[in-house]
Structure 1
């Protein structure tokens, strides 16, 4: 249930609810074939679908995340990690004021993962809430591997297929081959590590198009499969979390 569309009297049961979802993404380059909105569109769509099914509160989407590693590409926006962590913690504490004590960050941007985990630790250590980060493709790895020969972590076929399903008008299919040919398909040949050390800091260090992976076998039909499977996993997570006793979620005492 997306509560920003409701009036405040229509949310008179908010203090009886314990669980809320916060969609989190980014606004950053995803190659010449996908919109900068890719990550936050995926997070928002999955969050709305799952919370409607599970009758769980859903907040507005956080659309700008930790993306400085894509900064060389036009239009990419980002916030510095400390500011992002503080903002997300403050947002979560807004929810605890209304009685929410468990939160799922529905995330679709890899650059946010470690920072959302840190926010969750802060909230749990303080005893205020149990907050966890959920990444859609991590919930269905077998299906992703089954559908695509070369997955690619950024701008590749899994994200391409999802946007073909969610927002087909925003996909530039005529750019698929350019994205692949100017990107990095074979990670073993990418020179991403030297003697065990990661030698890159920015996406452009590895890929001229900003793309990692081969999206030429992406389709809207595959995107629908991914979307439905991930939404189902998220609903199951929300059901599980709602059923947990609060004491089981909070930090354990010193032995």
Structure 2
């Protein structure tokens, strides 16, 4: 159920009975010459919508701008700084807790958000407000991603191209797929991204002139559908696992008073 489509009387009883909400988060940032800036938040919203319908839980509005300063050199990229992002997501989640939601899954599709969502979850857990988990879609199906694509790429590569091919194929610039591959970076090992164990780059443009990584030409509608369905299934299973937990099980544990030995 999408929260924002309902009236408050329709939501009143439902929210008091509901325990889990899914919150889609992404970014508005460059995704090479072939994918829209909306890529990440479109993926998060589509997965959250599909899982919320199947698991019969609440889906909130999508948080569309994330922590993306490392893509700032590309026109149109938007970002918020980490402290402001964390404060906003925390306040957003406390709103849900006020209305009776005590478990939240952050359905995330942007790597730059990960550590900040985990920190917000830690804060909310520490004071017992709610139990919030960060879920990154491609981290839920790494074996399948590796099976489907020889050159994945961490950003604007085949896995994200496949997801947009499935969700909104009209937004994929198919005439730019080869340019994305040839003018981007297919093999991260071909760059000086890591030298003697040190990560040498701060911005995406340091490694890829057009912002794309991997080989997005290695995508078919069949692969795209398989990827989307597998990620959705993992999210549904996570929501069901969370629903089955007792609240006491999720609250912070008491201080250990004595050694068990």
**So what's the TM-score if we normalise by structure 1?**
0.99
Q: Residue 132 of structure 2: SS of its match in structure 1? A: strand
Give structure 1 stretches of 5+ with no counterpart. Answer: none
In structure 1, how many angstroms separate the alpha carbons of the residues matched to 2:46 and 2:108? 11
Report runs of 4+ in structure 1 exceeding 6 Å deviation: none
Q: Residue deviations 1:25-74, cap 9 Å, x none?
A: 00000000000000000000000000001110000000000000000001
Structure 2 equivalent of residue 155 of structure 1: 156
CA contact (8 A) 2:30 2:211 kept: yes
Give the aligned partner of residue 220 of structure 2. Answer: 219
Residue 11 of structure 2 aligns with which residue? 11
**Which residue number corresponds to residue 238 of structure 1?**
239
Shift of residue 247 of structure 1? 1.5
Contact 1:162/1:220, CA 8 A, preserved across alignment: no
Cross-structure match for 1:138: 139
Any conservation in 1 of the 2:43–2:164 contact (CA below 8 Å)?
yes
Paired with 1:104 and 1:208, the residues of 2 have a C-alpha distance of: 35
1:223 deviates by 1.1
Q: Which residue of 2 aligns with 1:64?
A: 65
The residue matched to 1:132 in structure 2 has which SS? strand
- 1:111 counterpart residue number: 112
1:48-197 matched pairs, under 5 angstroms: 48-197=49-198
Q: Deviations over 1:93-119 (max 9, x none)?
A: 000000111100000000000000000
Gaps in structure 2 of 5+ consecutive residues: 257-261
Contact 2:178 2:217 in 1 (8 A): yes
Residue aligned with 1:22, SS: strand
Q: Deviations over 1:199-249 (max 9, x none)?
A: 100000000010111111112221111111111111111011001011111
Considering only aligned residues, what root-mean-square deviation do their CA atoms show, in Å? 0.7
Correspondence for 2:29: 28
Q: Which residue of 1 aligns with 2:204?
A: 203
Residue-by-residue CA offset, 1:168-211 (whole Å, 9 max, x unaligned):
01000111111111111111111101221111000000000101
- Work out the CA distance in 2 between the residues paired with 1:102 and 1:28: 29
Aligned partners of 1:215, 1:116: CA distance in 2, in Å? 28
CA distance in 2, matches of 1:124, 1:240: 17
Query: Distance between the aligned counterparts of 1:161 and 1:194, measured in 2?
Result: 31
CA distance in 1, matches of 2:189, 2:228: 29
SS in 2 for 1:143: helix
Q: Is the 8 A contact 2:19 2:102 kept in 1?
A: yes
SS in 2 for 1:214: coil
